[in-house]
Chain A
Amino acid sequence: MAHEPTPPRGLPRPGVWARGAAGVAVLFLASELLGRAGIVDRSFLPPASSITARALELAGDTEFLFNVRVTLTAWALGLLIACAVAIPLGLLFGSVPAVNTAVRAIVEFLRPIPSVALIPLAALVLGSGLEMEVPLIVYASSWPILFNTVYGLDDVDPTAKETLRSFGFSRFQVLLRVSLPSAAPFIATGVRLAASIALILAVGTEILSGFGDGLGMFIAQAGNVPDGTTDVLAGTVWAGCLGLVIDTVLGRGEDRLFRWHKAQRSGAS
């Protein structure tokens, strides 16, 4: 297989789809067989069909949908506030070098604090529920947006900026007309990264909080019930679907909005 030279996209599209479907089917069958064979206790690893059935059943369950809505509200609110905070800050840091170097040391010490470590503190100070979830999400998801904004501004063509400045445009106008549009794809990538981090935090705080509502709460409570593994896995499937939908929607939106820009997608920190 390594003898072939590497074409960028070797397989035709239908082939890729068919193989992907086959891979999913094989895993499904394998877990079905494993679940039914009785090698592992069925309460530990229920067959795939019963997980799927339960997941579909949950889609019509009003209480479950309410839980999903609670999680999504926290996610969306946190992400929106993070954008509102991090993009202007990023623009400030990125366009004023003196501020950037001054703030860098502070940021470098704040960023590595793993956001989940703040959950116990936030629980003590802020109580539980949305009031505690949203600030944690904002804290955790601001970093990628902030960094990508600064990084994007760093990448702006200096000639374009100088040209506009020589035409007598003010700093702020140059920022709006050249820097912001040119940094926008990077900012969008940051928002996409932040969206997945926000989901991690939303579900994570719910799992730990012990009471309240939310998808994470549903999964955590199902884990405490003796026969709840099917519920745990069905909830996890839905959490994955949420992640997938969010990732796909944002990814597609990015492609459509910034088709002109060949951003390097992966590896953006």
Chain B
Amino acid sequence: MTAATASAPRARTRGAASRITGGLLHRLLPLVLLVAAWEAATRAADSAFFPPPSQIARRMRELWLSGPADHLYLSSEAGDSIAPSLGRMFLALVLSVVVGVVLGIALGRSQRVLAYLQPLLQFARVIPPPTLVPVFIVLFELGTQMQVASIIFSAIWPILLNTADGARSVDAVQMDTAQVFRLSALDRIRFVIVPSALPKIFAGLRLALSLSLILMVFSELLPGTSDGLGFMLTNAQSQSDLGTLWSVIVLLGILGYLFNSILLVVERRVLARHRGARKANS
């Protein structure tokens, strides 16, 4: 940052390139060093519980990337374990977003309805989601239904409450203006309420994403499931297969990082567009 302000304009392009490589080096080097140190430490310790990273990487390739080239090298194991997990998570996340945003806007725009539901919503939000999984097992029986329901129940609250909060705090002048221009209710939602609630919605979405990843794994760890990454974990645990155990954990970390990055990119684009539109309007 200080380099950016100090550099002369004509040196900017070259400065930017070296800054990016310098920044990358600065960010990635510690990670590389950490992995190397971890490798050395685990080799020295030679503990069955802590396999070295190289071994974990080999096991990961063996597990998920040993398939034929026409399947993008994905093995059948990847289809059996990763696909059902992600499928359930995305189904649940999409449903939570749709229901949470729609209900959140309705609640945010109606003080009275919100007042009726507020205590219930607050209580539902503070129940630790894992406690509800046994309840859902009773209600839905084991399997996809129960898993999707428990993910939805954890992911929907941050989205719903944040959307309601955002929809409630729409600028009154904007609402009045929309009324003067006789915008229909739908247009008001589309052009006024949603844009101004979007930052809050995304903040809720980020919380919901990490919660849904947690609940996805949790609901699969329970006895009675037959597929998914969580099932792979329990299976590996019962066989004391630490290579697989570590591989799944690392994979879940990568997936979580990937989802979060994608969400951040989407957020930046969407918010930038809306901010631009609002600036042009004013």
- Report if A and B associate in a common complex: yes
Query: Which residues of A does B touch, CB under 8 Å?
Result: 1-3, 5-8, 10-11, 15-16, 19-24, 26-27, 44-45, 101-106, 108-121, 123-125, 196, 199-200, 202-204, 207-208, 215-216, 219-220, 222-223, 229, 232-233, 235-236, 239-240, 243-244, 246-247, 266-267, 269
Q: Is the CB of B138 within 8 A of A266?
A: no
Known A-B contacts A20-B118, A240-B126, A266-B203; A124 and B188 likewise in contact (beta carbons under 8 Å): no
Give min CB distance, B134 to chain A, whole Å.
4
Residues of A near B119 (CB, < 8 A) are 20-21, 23-24
Known A-B contacts A109-B253, A120-B234; A207 and B185 likewise in contact (beta carbons under 8 Å): no
Query: Which residues of B does A touch, CB under 8 Å?
Result: 23, 26-31, 34, 49, 109-112, 115-120, 122-124, 126-135, 137-139, 161-162, 165, 168-170, 172, 175-176, 179, 185, 188, 199-200, 203-204, 206-207, 210, 213-214, 216-218, 221-222, 229-230, 233-234, 236-237, 240, 242, 245-246, 248-250, 252-257, 259-260
Counting chain B CB atoms within 10 Å of each CB, which of A5, A45, A103, A229 scores highest? A5
With CB as the reference atom, state the residue of chain A lying closest to B131. Answer: A239
Give min CB distance, A134 to chain B, whole Å.
17
**Chain B contact residues: over half helix, strand or loop, or mixed?**
helix
Q: Is the CB of A117 within 8 A of B217?
A: yes
In the bound complex, how far is the Cα of B30 from the Cα of A243, in angstroms? 38
Give min CB distance, A39 to chain B, whole Å.
14
With CB as the reference atom, state the residue of chain A lying closest to B237. Answer: A120
Known A-B contacts A23-B118, A24-B119, A196-B126; A266 and B165 likewise in contact (beta carbons under 8 Å): yes
Residues of B near A223 (CB, < 8 A) are 134-135, 137-138
Give min CB distance, B109 to chain A, whole Å.
5
In the bound complex, how far is the Cα of B256 from the Cα of A141, in angstroms? 17
Q: Is the CB of B127 within 8 A of A267?
A: no
In the bound complex, how far is the Cα of B28 from the Cα of A13, in angstroms? 53
Residues of A near B123 (CB, < 8 A) are 240, 244
Residues of A near B23 (CB, < 8 A) are 101
Counting chain B CB atoms within 10 Å of each CB, which of A110, A114, A200 scores highest? A114
Q: Is the CB of A269 within 8 A of B221?
A: no
In the bound complex, how far is the Cα of B126 from the Cα of A266, in angstroms? 14
In the bound complex, how far is the Cα of B252 from the Cα of A207, in angstroms? 21
In the bound complex, how far is the Cα of B134 from the Cα of A219, in angstroms? 7
In the bound complex, how far is the Cα of B131 from the Cα of A243, in angstroms? 11
Known A-B contacts A5-B176, A116-B221; A269 and B207 likewise in contact (beta carbons under 8 Å): yes
A-B contacts besides A208-B221, A216-B130, A236-B134, 5 pairs, CB < 8 Å: A106-B34, A112-B257, A120-B237, A203-B131, A240-B127
A-B pairs with beta carbons under 8 Å apart, 11 shown: A16-B115, A19-B116, A106-B31, A114-B210, A117-B248, A120-B233, A199-B128, A207-B222, A236-B132, A240-B127, A266-B200
Known A-B contacts A23-B116, A116-B221; A200 and B130 likewise in contact (beta carbons under 8 Å): yes
Q: Is the CB of B176 within 8 A of A112?
A: no
Q: Is the CB of B236 within 8 A of A114?
A: no
In the bound complex, how far is the Cα of B122 from the Cα of A247, in angstroms? 10
The residue that B245 contacts in the complex, of A7, A112, A120, A267, with Cβ under 8 A, is A120
